[in-house]
Each structure stands twice: as structure tokens, then as C-alpha cells.
Structure 1
Amino acid sequence: MSRTMEWAARAEHLRGISRKVVIAAVGAFAKTVSSLLNTAAVHNADTLLRLVRSRPNCVPLINVSNHMSTLDDPVMWGFKGFPIFDTKLARWVLAAEDICFKNALYSYIFRVGKCIPITRGGGIYQEHMIEALERLKDGEWLHTFPEGKVYQEDVPIRRLKWGTASLIVRAPITPIVLPIVHHGFHEVMPEKYMFGRRPPVPLWNKKIDIIIGDPIEFDLPAMRQKAISQSRNESFPTIGWPSTPDGLDELAQRCLYTAISEQIRAAMERLRCFSKSFVKSWVGSNLPKSEIKVF
């Protein structure tokens, strides 16, 4: 399978002018929705800013977050102090092919905006996952929604898809993995607003909170050995995955991806529980928008 408009995603495409235009337009939109039309509060923003701007050379960054609306990315980056207009620092993001790449115009805009199309249900070895690995090899920042789709109910984080876990394992340099949980985007862009459809424009006067955690630490050598041991007693149906460079067969990969995904899910769930107390603490303060502290 060929990669959808990969040429438009290259930094040198049209000397980078088209990327600057799209990133600037998207950044202005994100700032407007997040900081002007609505009120956003962020916890632990310094950790994200530090990792985006000055992580170790060539070390990639993967963000994992819940997915409450089609606006989560890019609006979640529109908070005060975030360098959303910087094309070099801008994230790459895995985006649903059936939503963001449904025609040539959308495909071009999203590609220029550093989006990688993902076919939901296409598996972890689809061609565009290989492209995501190439971006990680370059030491880039990649944002993912490991739940795999939009969920607007305020319920515990669901079982995660294996795609993000597979990227962590298969990346040439193990990425830093940073969990983020947000709340409020489901009110800015509800899935069923009028006649069961989304509103034509983002809603306003809503409260958004973004909880940024600390990097998740994985003991990958120990987790690999445990996965190999567990796989000897398992009998999952296999579909012919290739072995990884370090020799994990499909059964061992499944055990390993399950363990990594559960560790990520648990970290996100802890942030979700923390966000409830965080929301209560600043919603009850009745502070005007200009006095909401971003920290």
C-alpha cells in the first residue's frame, strides 16, 4: 500500500512555506478556541514544554491522551505559553484516515500539518505505522490517541489499542512516553448537538482542563522476558506478524503489547481521577479567565 500524499508531509515541500501557512492557521484557530472563546487550565505544563523544547538529542517523544472530541488535537495545544506556531517543534499526530483524509483537499492540508493517516482496524503493520516509526527514528514528537476513537462519556479509560505500544517497542530509540488526560472538549465539540450531529463551529464559554503527567517508565528488557515466558502458555490465534528485530514472535509481541498498553492505561486513569479534584478546585474558585493559573 502506498503512503497517502507523503510528499506533502516533507519539510522541504514548497520550501516549507505551505507547512508554515497551515501551522500558523491551525495555531491561530487553536489559540482562539482554547484561550479566547473558552477557558483552559493546565496542570504540569512545564513538563510538556521542557520535553517538546529540550529533550535529549535524537530521543523521540510520544504523547498518549484520551480522545473526547474531533478538536482535541490541535486545540489542546492552544494554551498560553505553548509554541504552537513553531513548525519544527510542532507534533506529528496519528489521524483517522476515514475522517481527515477523505478527499484530496483534506489529505493535502492534514499532510502539510504533520498528520499521519491511520486506517482504523488496519493493524500495527500497516504502511503508515512504518512511517510513524520513521518519524520516531528522526527523534520527532508524535501524539497518539490509543483508545482508537472518540469517547465523550466521563468513564474510566478503556482498554487501549496496541498501536502505540508497538511503536514504543519497535522504535530504534526508546521514546519518552508522556500521558495527558483532558476534560471539557466534549462540551466544545459534542458529537450529538443538533439532530444527532456535531455543531458547525466550536462552542464557547466552556471550561477545559488538561492534566499532564510525568513520563512513564518501562523496564522493556524485563517486560520482554516476561512476555516470552507468558507466550509459551498462551494460544492466541495468529495472523502472521513478522518477528521483531530482537526475536519476539507474534505471541510474545501480543503479550508485551498488552502489558505496555495496560501500564499506559493505568497511568492515564490515575490522571483522570486526579483531574476530577483539579476541576473542582478551579471551577469553584469563580476566578475570571485572566486569573486562571496555568502551571
Structure 2
Amino acid sequence: MVGRKMEWAARGTHLRGMPRKVVFMAVGAFAKAVANLLNTTTVHNADTLIRLVRSRPPGVPLLTVSNHMSTLDDPVMWGFKGFPIMDARLGRWVLAAEDICFKNTVLSYFFRLGKCIPITRGGGIYQEHMNEALDRLRDGAWLHTFPEGKVCQEDVPIRRLKWGTASLIARAPVTPIVLPIVHRGFEKVMPENYMFGRRPPVPLCNKNVNIIIGEPIEFNLPELMQMALSRSQDSNHSGARWPLIKPCGLDGAAQRWLYTSISEQIRTVMERLRSFGKAKVLN
């Protein structure tokens, strides 16, 4: 486990940043090829994402959220034309499943260089590396999450979101700009059950990928926290094992209400984008 954490490899100063630059250039070239040469990718509202990645107000973090259609979503969803995917300085941090991306030392080193933060699925919203994600938001960085928590390749409404993303929004020292993204088509580029119940060894070609980028979601966190405090008084769930959120002092029950409310607001916007994207494809 110690070898898989590799915080030192995730630092921009590791070997003067050269290994990270190499990884971003190589992975970026792969993503560009899959998105634009092997397949056809169309993006709605790309300028909003590019602008927020390149020129946010100083110290303000960006938190992008998207559905999860395949193991290729990240990085290929950033490979569309005009996006600076090869710039390691601008590149996103992303929460990545520890059991997939951090199986051994070599994978751990590679994904750490690629600005991935290991997350244990089922480990709860207060697991160790969620603090690392908060640190990146504190730095004003760009963080991406898949709040559904796992890959879903069925054409169904956005599922109930896990609370981890909502907890990051509520606990971040500076409230991040939250940008929703919904895509479709990656399930055809990398299907989970391609042959004998396994993924194909390489991405498939001649598929259409559509990426719908929304507008930033606004949260009135002070008002939501006050509502959470009042609603929690009627709850039987004390949440004694959860730390209090300061300065409001939200207990476990209040946090559950707050995270549910934030998650539902995000899910509603993502479902609206999904319906919009589906309509565009059918037309």
C-alpha cells in the first residue's frame, strides 16, 4: 500500500517535472488519435471548458463532473480538437479507482505522473486521499470526478450520485466552479462486453462520440448549510463517526442532507444535458 500512494511522484517538482510532461504528451497524443483520427468527436460548448481551464480567477478551483461510459472516458474525452491536453501544467487531477489504476508499483507511478488520485471504492467520503483532493482544490487546481462511481454503458438516466463529489464542494476552502459534462459514444469505442465478456484489446474505430458541456452550476452553500442544520434536527441518524464541518458545525445527519441536496442538483443538471445530447444525436 505504501508503494501505491507515491505522493512524491504526484508532485510537480519530481525530477523537475519532466516525467509528468512526457506522460501528458504521450497520453495526450493517444487521446487525440482516438478522438479525432480513429473516431469522430463533436463537442457542444467547448469554449466554456477551455476558457475555465486556461483562465479562471486566481485561486479559484475548477471541478468538472461527468457520467462514466467506459474506461477510456479519461483521457480521451479531453482529446477533442482545440483542447490543451498535452499541457501538464493545465491538466486535470482526477479521482481514479485504486483497484484498477494502482494495482502495482509500475501502474501507480504512471498514474501518479498523470495527476491521478487513488480512491478506494466503498472506502467512504472521508478516506485518506479525499484530503489530497481537497488539497488540490485548495491550490486552485482543476479536479475531475465521475460522481456515479462506476462505469455504466446503458442508455439510461443519470443514476443517483455518490456523496464524495458533494462533500468536496461543501468542504473546499474556496467553493469551486462546478462544470457538468455529459458524453455518449465511448461505450462503443470501448465496450465492456465486446468478446467473451471482455473489453477489446484496443479502442474501436469509426464511432461517433458526442460531448455536451454545460454551464457552471451555482450553489448557495451558506443557505444550504443552514437548511441542513434545521433539517437534521428531525433526523434519527446522528452520524457520530463523521467529523463536524466547521465553522457551521454540521453533524453527520446535517451532512447527509447537504450532500444529498448538492448531489441531486448536479444529477438534475446532468440528466438535462443527457436528454439534450440524445436529442441532438437523434436529429
Instruction: Note whether the superposition's TM-score is higher than 0.5.
Output: yes
- TM-score, structure 1 normalization: 0.94
1:231 alignment counterpart: 232
- 1:197 to 2:165 alignment: no
Output aligned runs, 1:223-262, within 5 Å.
Answer: 223-236=224-237, 238=239, 240-246=241-247, 247-262=249-264
- 1:44 to 2:56 alignment: no
1:107 alignment counterpart: 108
- 1:119 to 2:120 alignment: yes
Tell me which amino acid in the other structure corresponds to 1:158. Answer: R
- TM-score, structure 2 normalization: 0.98
Return the alpha-carbon distance in structure 1 between the equivalents of residues 69 and 237 of structure 2: 32
1:186 alignment counterpart: 187
Moved more, 182-191 or 227-236: 227-236
Return the alpha-carbon distance in structure 2 between the equivalents of residues 178 and 161 of structure 1: 17
1:267 alignment counterpart: 269
1:93 aligned counterpart, secondary structure: strand
Q: Deviations over 1:173-229 (max 9, x none)?
A: 000000000000000000000100000000000000000000001111111111111
Question: Structure 1 vs Structure 2: percent identity of aligned residues?
Answer: 73
User: In the alignment, is the contact (CA less than 8 A) between 2:239 and 2:251 conserved in 1?
Assistant: no
Tell me which amino acid in the other structure corresponds to 1:214. Answer: E
1:292 alignment counterpart: none
1:153 aligned counterpart, secondary structure: coil
* Cα distance change, pair 194–239 in 1 and its aligned pair in 2 (3 A): farther
The gaps in structure 2 that reach 5 residues or longer are: none
Moved more, 179-188 or 236-245: 236-245
Tell me which amino acid in the other structure corresponds to 1:250. Answer: G
Provide the aligned length of Structure 1 versus Structure 2. 281
Return the alpha-carbon distance in structure 2 between the equivalents of residues 239 and 96 of structure 1: 27
Output aligned runs, 1:271-286, within 5 Å.
Answer: 271-281=273-283
Output aligned runs, 1:202-221, within 5 Å.
Answer: 202-221=203-222
1:77 alignment counterpart: 78
2:27 aligned counterpart, secondary structure: helix
Tell me which amino acid in the other structure corresponds to 2:254. Answer: A
1:215 aligned counterpart, secondary structure: coil
Q: CA deviation at 1:279?
A: 1.4
Q: Deviations over 1:253-272 (max 9, x none)?
A: 11000000000000000000
Tell me which amino acid in the other structure corresponds to 2:174. Answer: I
2:180 aligned counterpart, secondary structure: strand
2:13 alignment counterpart: 12
Q: CA deviation at 1:239?
A: 5.3
2:5 aligned counterpart, secondary structure: coil
Return the alpha-carbon distance in structure 2 between the equivalents of residues 58 and 222 of structure 1: 23
Return the alpha-carbon distance in structure 2 between the equivalents of residues 222 and 137 of structure 1: 22
Return the alpha-carbon distance in structure 2 between the equivalents of residues 238 and 34 of structure 1: 44
Runs of 4+ residues over 3 Å off in structure 1: none
User: In the alignment, is the contact (CA less than 8 A) between 2:185 and 2:208 conserved in 1?
Assistant: yes
1:164 aligned counterpart, secondary structure: helix
Q: CA deviation at 1:236?
A: 2.5
Aligned-residue Cα RMSD (Å) equals 1.1
